[in-house]
Amino acid sequence: MILGLFASALAGLAVGLTPYAPPPASQVVVYRDAGLIDGLGGGVKPHMAVIVEGAVIKAVLPDQQLSKADLKGAEVVDLSGRYLLPGLVDSHVHLATSPNRKRAEALMRREVYGGVTAVRDMAGDGRALADLARASRVGEIPGPDIFYAALMAGPGFFADQRTVSATQGATAGAVPWMQAVTSQTDLPLAVALARGTSASGIKTYADISGRLLARITAEAHRQGMRVWSHGILFPATPEEVVAAGVDVISHACQAGFQAAAPPPVSMSPPPVLPYAQLADPDNPRMAALFGEMRRRGQILDATNYVYVVGEQERRAAGKPVSCSADLSARLTAQAHRDGVMISAGTDSFSPPEDPFPALHQEIVFLGEKAGLSPVEAIRSATLTGAMAIGQQAQMGTIEPGKLANMVVLAANPLDDLRQLRSVVLTIKRGVRFARSAYPPLTREELDEEDN
């Protein structure tokens, strides 16, 4: 009797601590009569129904084919006149470069209420990221699932203040989530240490040769980890980054250094992009690079949004622009024309007063500036985003067996990508986040500068 009361008390406590926990499999919800954009590449399928059991999609079928058995005991959500698409994935964020739990939770809340159900965090304090990922996953806080990177770079990089901030209390370059590597590094051990942080991938950043990158990539893949690399590693050139077999390459502008002859091999002095050569929208050196990326099935995490923001800030400060939004768009467009898969990553957050995540603006940019069709732009933030983090078997499309990660919109985003801001409801692992219940960000929560 006492044990039973104790168990009941614990269960009640758990519910109180995890208000956003995924529902039990016995809970059935039927989303009816939606205009479905399933993420598989087609247009809107009218009058569709999605049956969800707990956190998982059980069936997707025309609404008129629902049976009495399907509806018996189920909660029914009428989506007539609404549009249903997969939960969005931002393939490049930084939530814990300088750990601030209050600020991170606020940003995560804005993401999930804005339709973002998963993010790829591209390196920060691994201790903080593990805690945030766990809290979101078990439902202690509202937010997307977090899949994060452990960083590897040459020893010279770890004087960077960002690495110092992300390793407070320890030594930058000598912790499992931020390791200095050389040709003498015991790579099986280094990768195992990175894997032990619960990171999903290894990010390579700077001061790494093409040969060392190839060794890191081979060992990471052997141990079941993905490799996410900057487009140029100084000295590893974009061509060498591609040849190393990494899974995802970040920053369209960094890939642009391939057009330089020869590409720069050092970050000091700061290299300048070859704007004259890149004026050709079909630069042959870039075409060769993108053709090899297509052949290998590599993804370009273009991060156009960060170049838009960076250009605005630098021009306002009277500083030179390292890469313009226009150049980023041209490089992304050429990669897309050459058959490279593009994922939607932001590498920055929208301003505090913006009630929606920056990912919406990245998707619009891909459609309006980089030549992707609305279907392709949405795919960049759904299936391709899921592929970037290696989670395409669980998310990215609305199909039976996948997680119930979905977004309900009031208007059709294929008519105008800006309609992504017509979010009515986000469903993450079966948990519903009504847009009408969104608590806006406050200045108190955002008392730190962006990471």
**How many whole angstroms separate alpha carbon 228 and alpha carbon 204?**
6
Tens digit of each residue's pLDDT, the chain (451 residues): 555 544 444 455 555 799 999 999 999 999 999 999 999 989 999 999 999 999 999 999 999 999 999 999 999 999 999 999 999 999 999 999 999 999 999 999 999 999 999 999 999 999 999 999 999 999 999 999 999 999 999 999 999 999 999 999 999 999 999 999 999 999 999 999 999 999 999 999 999 999 999 999 999 999 999 999 999 999 999 999 999 999 999 999 999 999 998 889 888 888 989 999 999 888 999 999 999 999 999 999 999 999 999 999 999 999 989 899 999 999 999 999 999 999 999 999 999 999 999 999 999 999 999 999 999 999 999 999 999 999 999 999 999 999 999 999 999 999 999 999 999 999 999 999 999 999 999 988 887 544 3
**How many whole angstroms separate alpha carbon 56 and alpha carbon 393?**
12
**How many whole angstroms separate alpha carbon 368 and alpha carbon 289?**
24
Instruction: Tell me the domain boundaries of the chain.
Output: 20-85+402-437, 88-388
Distance, C-alpha 135 to centroid of its chain = 18
Backbone angle region of 330, left / alpha / beta, with phi > 0 → left and psi within -120 to 50 → alpha: alpha
Q: What is the DSSP letter of 77?
A: E
pLDDT at 4: 56
pLDDT per residue as tens digits for the range 287-296: 999 999 999 9
pLDDT per residue as tens digits for the range 302-334: 999 999 999 999 999 999 898 999 999 999 999
Tokens 């939004």, located at residue: 325
For residue 309, give every residue at least 6 positions away whose Cβ sits within 8 Å of its Cβ, in sequence order, or none. Answer: 348
pLDDT at 9: 47
For residue 348, give every residue at least 6 positions away whose Cβ sits within 8 Å of its Cβ, in sequence order, or none. Answer: 305, 306, 309, 358, 450
User: Residue 122 belongs to what H/E stretch?
Assistant: none
pLDDT at 444: 86
For residue 376, give every residue at least 6 positions away whose Cβ sits within 8 Å of its Cβ, in sequence order, or none. Answer: 336, 342, 366, 367
CATH number of 88-388: 3.20.20.140
SS3 (DSSP) at 116: strand
The phi and psi torsions of 244 (rounded to 5 degrees) equal: -70, -15
Give the CATH architecture of domain 20-85+402-437.
Roll (2.30)
pLDDT at 270: 85
Q: What is the DSSP letter of 340?
A: -
The phi and psi torsions of 440 (rounded to 5 degrees) equal: -60, 160
Please, what's the b/e burial string for 204-230 (b: 16 or more CB within 10 A of its CB; e: otherwise)? bbbbbbbebbbbbbebbbeeebbbbbb
User: CA 303 → CA 93, 105, 122, 156, 394, distances in Å?
Assistant: 10, 22, 12, 25, 24
Distance, C-alpha 136 to centroid of its chain = 15
Q: Which two tokens stand for residue 320?
A: 């030179």
pTM: 0.94
pLDDT at 409: 98
Looking at every residue in the chain, the average pLDDT score rounds to 95
Q: What is the DSSP letter of 80?
A: T
pLDDT at 451: 35
